[in-house]
Structure 1
């Protein structure tokens, strides 16, 4: 215990020593300024002692904004032996009559007649506090001015959230940290990444420095705006971009394309994913490579463009179509979150002409080589089967004039061209 009390005594002694050194340095600094201004050190000590003997009180509040300019008024009727001094909140003498004591050119004495006004330029928040105008007379006259410095809001970019990339389904927390006096109020809004680009307010408390987005989905990929305002200055804004990662999703405009040998066609595949990752086409298990740069060969060409939804459209141009080019093509896409695949079929258009009796569609009237949907009309009538001689004692068959044929619709998902004709029995 003795050691503990000894330590407390040493700490107290150290604090008292530091306080004494600080006070002595302040006095020495005032004395050095006074020496430069040819002012007697004893006069400064007298002014400081007189000011310290009077209780501080609030008489006048003067407000300004950081970076601005302010004038603290003081009206004193001086005599031949009296002097006016200005002191700050730390009891430092700023001016003695019109002579500058403080080494800060932002402070100026504006003297005219009985007016001894103190002007401060480029005001900072550190300048706030109580100032005293003192007339060194008997009795001493004092005037108090409380300077209040308002600081426009400023958002701390380091202590606030940066652009965020989050997995789909996660909760995302956005932080907006601003300083200022008085304490700024916060407002959040979201700017959709569509064509409107108009911010929409997010309801919440004025002191809401933090908002949370629960169960983020890919449609949450927007720009969130934090606005800090305290009524002074223009306010400050911070924009935070939120990106949501999700596995690829593939959509095909057509799953079947019909073409002829010798021509060219384009296969399209739209991929929606973040990040976009890798996209390519394959056929028969082999990855298709762009061959437009190869000498003497121009078979496949890749092209890409951004889709309206923000994804990417991948197109594969196939030149000089041959029989081996017909078949199934696979669009593949993968990123760090997963992969997706979709199949498209390229069909030889000449196959449509191999069933003229069962094919009522006139392909010669279509100028487009792309066919996506066909239908058989239920108008085909099969010929009557040859009659057989009835067995002895058997009943005679009922006469049938014709056999109706059921029409079959060829959908886009069939393999090449399937025609199913179901005929009714006699």
Structure 2
């Protein structure tokens, strides 16, 4: 290796600066690259941990020049919204949602119909023609922000009234195979970190299309896991994606596993889950692969089941009126860690997607059933412990999550 690994750094990443430096150790030099507008808190943390340069993240060529001037030989990121920038610096051409889907369909890996929308009303004929539903998100969207699942004309009415000034990407909704219980959901993700691949189960979505939790290891049989990993590999090949870390979301089907999307980064929460439940250092593996190393595939074995619950506020909520305290959540059955509990008086807005979770809590169980029972128990507790008001200050009631977990 002839220089450090450049890491584009921002908030809400699958690895924090401290986790990156810890995983890198003494034998893998890293260079942090921060936007010149980064707030002082993150800047001070990054500069205290590793050599740091500042650049304008709106200028990909300028970022590439700053990275080259610092002697870095490769660039990566663990922040979802910075993946397009990292792709431009590396000259990847497939990271946009529209181009990604076009390539997957052209290669025969995907059969999902899609369209780029310049106006929300353009979704109406798509819903009428596709029938089963339409998923709409910003072309450059991340973390399920501003994402809608539209099934009826009334859904389209609500979407059209609320859609912001985003260029939109619409895709045909594909239902996955139902599982034996409400937990987990009908979609999964395949985590591909160099030679390592494993499957993450997901909790059911909250309205209108928000992620609410992840679970490891998958409860799917080994034959299904092997098929899903192969499908994810086919998707990467169709995109021309090189060695690296990828988070591939899929819908298992009866005769065809369908790609939801491919993300060119280590999946959120994945390294932490592996640290809690297995013996594989996924963070270090991701750094090695990004730096150009070719490590052998480790065998991942799970000592226990692990989940992270991302508790969503109701879609109509705009402010938290009552919240539980962190200590009480830490005493709930199976709780490993409480990352975040937002307090009374704080604003909330579903349009921020996963980033707007009002509580983020890690759980463990000896087997899948115990984990699911504890996940439901905690979700029910949070449902009763939090209260919310809408934009007029009126109490919010009648949400269908977590009722769907039962």
The normalised TM-score by structure 2 is 0.19
Q: Which has more radius of gyration? A: 1
Higher relative contact order (CA 8 A, sep 6+): 2
The normalised TM-score by structure 1 is 0.18
Structure with the larger strand share: 1
